[in-house]
Structures are given as structure tokens and as C-alpha cells.
Copies of this chain bind each other. A is one copy, B any other.
Amino acid sequence: MSRSIHNLSLTRRALTAASTPEVVARLREIVGAENVLIDPDKVEPYAQDALKEKFPPEAVVLPRTTEEMSEVLRLANERRFPVTARGGGVGYTGGAVPVEGGIVIGTDRMNRIREISPDNLYVITEPGVTTYALQQAVEAHGLFYPPDPSSYKTSFIGGNIAENAGGIRSAKYGVTKHYVIGLEVVTPTGEIIRTGGRTSKNVVGFDLTGLMCGSEGMLGIITEATLRLLPLPEATRTVRATFHTMREACACVPQFTRARVTPVACEVLDRNAIEAVESEFAFGIGAEAGALLLVAVDGAIEEVERAARVVERVVRAGGAYDVIRSETRDEEDRLWDVRRALSPSIKKFGTLKFNEDVVVPRSRVPDLIERVVDIGRRYETFVVNFGHLGDGNIHVNFMCDREDADAVRRARAAVGETFAVAVELGGTISGEHGIGYVKAPYLEMALGGTTIAAMKRIKDALDPHGILNPGKMFA
């Protein structure tokens, strides 16, 4: 591939020093011959992420230890080849994809949970553990790791941290960075540093832990993480409510706050989203539906019962004409089927999905969706909006045919306009997915040149040779 659908200015460069026999031999010495992949078939799975644009690495290196990782980085600095770290490889902006070639470091083999401390409410883990495996492991101790990106079954915790992953529960519990209290990191130049520690309070030096969260693998590679845990909530309840209009649905959100309820999840589907799932799965949501809300609350049993009744009262008062409140875990699970049906339902509208996760102050969501629907109409591109209404983070999905160059061009233009609208409404271009190579051309629109310059100074200070994940974030 010579040109990216998602970032047209990107063209793949020539081979780097990573392809030289001496470097390959040295990599084999460091991690063992069987842990350096150069065969095209074996490298292939490491060439792309959820976007399915292929940028094959020259080699894949699979270290087991921090020391091996450090040696690989030192070699990369010595011989000046690019290094891109990869977790589960399920991102939407290409953070784990080697757009400038060089090697990919897979964290697949660094997959042990090292310690779970119920008494001190932390877990220490290697980066290659899936979010799901981590959640299951701590829940066995009655503990709770709240961040839950929808990729949780396949994403790695190291990738979650590097991308500062969000998810459905963030309206109440915040995002990944709010749970990271300590890291071991290999810096771009190959030093091993420790940031933070095992306590959630820690003000010793600059907050490098925070800086690493969401740094998209450009400032260091995470080799160990200490994550803060909470007690596992006793129960959850969900209310599903159908409205005639998006404005009615959105107007309920501040009413939850006024009733002193903070939903753990507050998801919304717009008219197109509802039509898509109805046409595929027939949930029985009427054609007059303009918006559907899924509101979950959690806590102690008595508390969730009370909170769910408050939510029901608020949505009914707010104009919902079809309201279901779960009373059991099974009922709740069925209510969420609508949300889970979304991705499979919209596939038929195009082989290429521009899944953009803009975010606006939540009161501006109705304006955002109106504007996006209009953009879709003008560019003759089918668009589905859904997402995390509780924190204003809406997934705008423009659908088109990957082989239809004009349709792709129109969808790209629609994406650009959507970003501009999000910024205009007081929001920004990404709430969850990050920048990667995909959104790099829009960074200046969101941040302005002075702020970007400060970011670049930090990048240059920590990565003087530009080794780590080049071609990302900065256009």
C-alpha cells in the first residue's frame, strides 16, 4: 500500500536499518531467535489494527522481560530504526501500526498478573494482559477495575494505558488514567524508569505516570503497571427509554444530576442507529423512535433499586414513551442487547466505517448530532450516531464502500467537518481513540500551534532520535 485511506499524506518509506542482517542477528540474541518474526506470514498479524490498513513491520520482536525491551530500544537508538509498541492491536487510530517501518515490539509474552492486593486495593500487572482477564482476576477477589473500552476482550492493559482508554462506565468512574498509580517504563532511549508507586497519593516529582497515559506509545513503552482498584459494586440495574426526539433524551441527563444520581453508564442511540438495529434484529422499537437511552446505575442492592426508580421517574417526566426497568441481571442483560447489536447492524451500510469519537460538553450533544446528520446528508454518506451521552462522547460512524473512491472522499470530508463542529461546540476531536496517524492532520484544529509546540518539545526531550512510534500525532 502506498497511500492511506485515513491519512492521505502518509506514504510508506524505504526499508530501515531494522532489516539489516546484523540488526536481525542482534535482536535474536536479545530475545531468542524464536521471538523475532520476519517471515511475511508471521509478521502480517502485526501490520494493522481495527482500521485494517496494512503497514507490515520489517520485524516483530517479542520480549519477555523489561531488560530485553531496554536492550532492543538501545539497539534501535544506536542503529536508528523506528520502534512501535503494540498491545492487542485493536485501536482505531493506528497507534500500534508501524507507518514508518522498523520493528514492532509485541507485548504478547509479557502477560502475567504479578500481584493483586485486596488490602491495599491495587493490582500489579504486565502490559500484555487483556483488560477482560484483568477484570476477571480482580473480580475473583471482590474487586473492581472500572475502565471498560468496548474492545476489552482483546485489548491489552498496556495499550489501554498508552491510549488512555475510556468506555461505557466513564461517566461515573472516569477513564484509564484515573486508575494508573504506578508504571515501569522503558524510555525511548532505552532507560528503565519507575513512575508513581503503589499508593494513590503520590506527589514526588513531575507526574510522569500521568504523562505516559495517553502518550500513544511515543514517550515510552510500559512494561509494568500498578492499577488502583475499588470494591466491586453489589448490583447494577438498567433503564431503557425510548423518546421521540434526541433533544428530549439529552435533556434528561442534567435531571439525573439534579436528582443526585450519577449513572455508571448513560448510552444513547440516534434515529439511524435505532433503524439499523431494528432492521437487523427487530427489538420492537417503533418507527417513531427518535432516540433511545440506556441508563445503568450501580451500588448496593437497596441503593440501585432506589436509583433505578429515580431514573425511571426522570425519563418518564422527560417524555420517554416506552420505558423498561430491569429487575434482574438477566433482564438487564437483554436490555443491553440493543447496544451490542449496533456494530453488526451497521456493517451492511458500507465496507468502510469511519468511526470517530468526538466529544462535546454533554449539553451540546443534540446540536452535535443535528449538525452531523446534516453533514451526512450533504455528503451523501450514511451516518450513525451513538455513544456515551453521560460524558458527551459520541461515536459518529460514517459508512461507505472501501472500493468507491468518491464515496471515501466524501466520507473523509464529512469527518473533517464533524471535527470542526465538535471543536466549535466547545469539544474536541477524540474522547477515546486518540490521534495516531489517522487524526494527525486535525491536531492543529483542536489544539493550536503553541500547545503542539510544547508537546513536541517534550517528545524531543525524551526521544532525541525520534525512535519511538514515528509518524503519529504530529502531522
Contacts and interface: CB of A to CB of B under 8 A. Distances in A.
Given A200-B174, A203-B433, A458 B461 contact: yes
A460 B458 CA distance: 9
Interface string A257-275: 1101110000000000000
A393 B204 contact: no
B427 A205 contact: no
A177 interface: yes
Given A197-B428, A200-B391, A234-B260, 5 more contacts: A142-B258, A198-B426, A199-B361, A207-B215, A302-B302
Interface in A204-227: 204-208, 210-211, 213-215, 218-219
A443 interface: yes
Interface stretch (A40-48, A79-87, A116-124): A116-124
Contact of A262 (B177, B231, B306, B439): B231
B194 A448 contact: yes
Interface residues of A, number: 95
A9 interface: no
Interface stretch (A163-171, A373-381, A408-416): A163-171
Given A201-B170, A203-B430, A427-B198, A462 B452 contact: no
Interface stretch (A54-62, A185-193, A336-344): A185-193
Contacts of A233: 260
A214 B219 contact: no
Contacts of A434: 203
B178 A174 contact: yes
Interface string A273-291: 0000000000000000000
Given A177-B210, A219-B206, A300 B199 contact: no
Interface in A54-98: none
A457 interface: yes
Contacts of A253: 119
A405 B392 CA distance: 59
B207 A177 contact: yes
Interface in A117-139: 117-122
Nearest to A426: B198
A38 interface: no
Contacts of A461: 457-458, 460-461
A92 to B, nearest CB: 11
Nearest to A451: B193
